[in-house]
Structure 1
Amino acid sequence: MTIEDMKFIQNFKRMTNDAWLKGWHERNGGNITYRLTKEEVSAIKEFINEDSEYNSIGVTVKNLANEYFLVTGSGKFIRNMTVCLGENAGIIKIDEKGENYKVVWGLSNNARPTSELPSHLMSHSIKVEKTNGCHRVIMHSHTTNVIALTFVLPLEGKVFTRELWEMATECPVVFPSGIGVVPWMVPGGAAIAEATGELMKDHDVVIWAHHGMFCSGETLDLTFGLMDTVEKSAEILVKVLSMGGKKQTIVSENFRDLAKDFNVSISEDYLV
């Protein structure tokens, strides 16, 4: 068995291929990180190199100390993950202070982790705390219809949440905590990482205006499914707006009934 025969690697490759086929990752657009379980770390011990040098993350994530992450590479194409994973992605380890990382597998030919690693790790740090470690995936994609809506809707989480909830009955069940929105910022640095992390305290979906979407989830499948649901809802809204706008819709009382029957908690902030 090789490292690429591991189930989590196989799932990762399938997810990246599905995301490419969705049209969410043009060229080197988008990035994905997955926090390995203890069992997975143990299973790959014979394949990793612990002697590599540490590099600065750019942010401090103390509660991720000594954790391992499967990450896509900077400048690498999502479509190539299934062709040669070791050239386009890798596994990194966070140091004991949560300030540095080192590549322990993959990212060959001196490749580096995604340039948006600070945003990913800051969000992972928040989600480890908020979900008691259950969330393991951060996915950032350039979802076409969500990006389009950031040019016509107010850049407010309440607006995006309510508009997208109304487009499909399953939406408040799939993302009951709503959506956060970050205004346009230069990607890759500590500032956008902090802004995204702040919204991740209360949301599993964060939209970067005119850029794309960040989703957090427990597994690769659930995170992909969350992003797919939000983007499909956005596609419906784009079509509705192009047809002259809503003539009827799901009202607040409908959402309250849905929350009761599906046993989900929906904030009244979105039902005003």
Structure 2
Amino acid sequence: MDIKDAKFMEGFIRLTADAFRKGWHERNGGNLTYRIPAEEIAEVKNSLHQVDEWLPIGNSVPELAGEYFLVTGSGKYMRNVELCPEKNIAVILVDDKGENYGIVWGLTDGGRPTSELPTHLGNHELKKRLTAGRNRVIYHAHPTNLIALTFVLPLNDKEFTRELWEMATEDPVIFPEGLGVVPWMVPGGKAIADASTKLMEKYRVVVWAHHGLFVCGDDFDEAFGLMDTVEKAAEICVKVRSMGGKKQTITRENFLDLAKEFHIDLNEALLD
């Protein structure tokens, strides 16, 4: 099978296209990675070439040794992925030590994978371990309302989560563990990778202050759905604040009733 006909490529392209139309990816903003299962790699093996050059990941991920990833390119625009995938995304292979990567398909005009690769792969390694391999998608975007809230809400997990949980009844059902918040940090380096990975031990959603949102998922739908749900909550919050603030809201007791009825493991520590 040609790799451009593969089902995982279809899902990857659909996410990038839908997210661009949402307005989350101005210019070359945002990035997406997918850990490709061995059986899917086997289907497209004839599309892949040998590694010409091994380059440092910028992070050490030994548990990902020998794994293949579909990744967006650094400086590439999400809007162009569906128009010409081979120029804007790549399949990379992690070496046997988990310290270097090589391109085996894509980025035909040159270039490198996303500058956030150290953060993506660090979190792929963590989520692979925590979910027994189920988690395969790491996704970063720049949703407008969420970024706006990082200028007015306290930058801590508890208060940020509680504010967004209150914005719609479905929100604590979709991300019952809450979300983590990373203060502003220079993107693309090991420091923000380590800070994000630490929070991803507890959460599937991490806010990067004044920058964007970082989420994971077992598949493309779950990752996109988390991004969409959190951004919609942020949009409601922005509108509520612009109308003078809350006059009533979902109470602590309401949240507990919701958790009981929907059989969700709500992070009650974020309610107190």
Alpha-carbon distance between aligned partners in 2 of 1:132 and 1:244, rounded to the nearest angstrom:
46
Alpha-carbon distance between aligned partners in 2 of 1:41 and 1:128, rounded to the nearest angstrom:
18
Which residue of structure 1 aligns with residue 72 of structure 2? 72
Contact 2:92 2:105 in 1 (8 A): yes
Which residue of structure 1 aligns with residue 178 of structure 2? 178
Q: How does 1:171-210 map to 2 (within 5 A)?
A: 171-210=171-210
- For the aligned residues, what is the CA RMSD? 0.8
Indicate the SS of the match to 2:256: helix
Q: How does 1:105-144 map to 2 (within 5 A)?
A: 105-144=105-144
Deviation of the 1:121 alpha carbon = 0.6
Alpha-carbon distance between aligned partners in 2 of 1:93 and 1:127, rounded to the nearest angstrom:
18
Q: Deviations over 1:65-106 (max 9, x none)?
A: 111100000000000000000100010011111101000100
Q: How does 1:39-78 map to 2 (within 5 A)?
A: 39-78=39-78
Contact 1:71 1:92 in 2 (8 A): yes
Aligned length: 272
Unaligned regions of 5+ residues in structure 2, if any?
Answer: none
Residue identity over aligned pairs, in percent, reads 60
Asked if residue 239 in structure 1 is aligned to residue 239 in structure 2, the reply is yes
Between 257-266 and 210-219, the greater mean CA deviation after superposition = 257-266
Contact 1:28 1:76 in 2 (8 A): yes
Which residue of structure 2 aligns with residue 146 of structure 1? 146
Q: Which residue type is aligned with residue 153 of structure 2?
A: L
Which residue of structure 2 aligns with residue 248 of structure 1? 248
Q: Which residue type is aligned with residue 120 of structure 1?
A: H
Deviation of the 1:2 alpha carbon = 2.1
Alpha-carbon distance between aligned partners in 2 of 1:95 and 1:240, rounded to the nearest angstrom:
49
Unaligned regions of 5+ residues in structure 1, if any?
Answer: none
Which residue of structure 2 aligns with residue 225 of structure 1? 225
Deviation of the 1:172 alpha carbon = 0.8
Contact 2:11 2:220 in 1 (8 A): yes
Deviation of the 1:187 alpha carbon = 0.3
Indicate the SS of the match to 1:125: helix
Indicate the SS of the match to 1:216: strand
Deviation of the 1:52 alpha carbon = 2.1
Alpha-carbon distance between aligned partners in 1 of 2:134 and 2:255, rounded to the nearest angstrom:
27
Q: Which residue type is aligned with residue 48 of structure 1?
A: L
Deviation of the 1:50 alpha carbon = 2.3
The TM-score with structure 2 as length reference comes to 0.98
Deviation of the 1:49 alpha carbon = 1.0
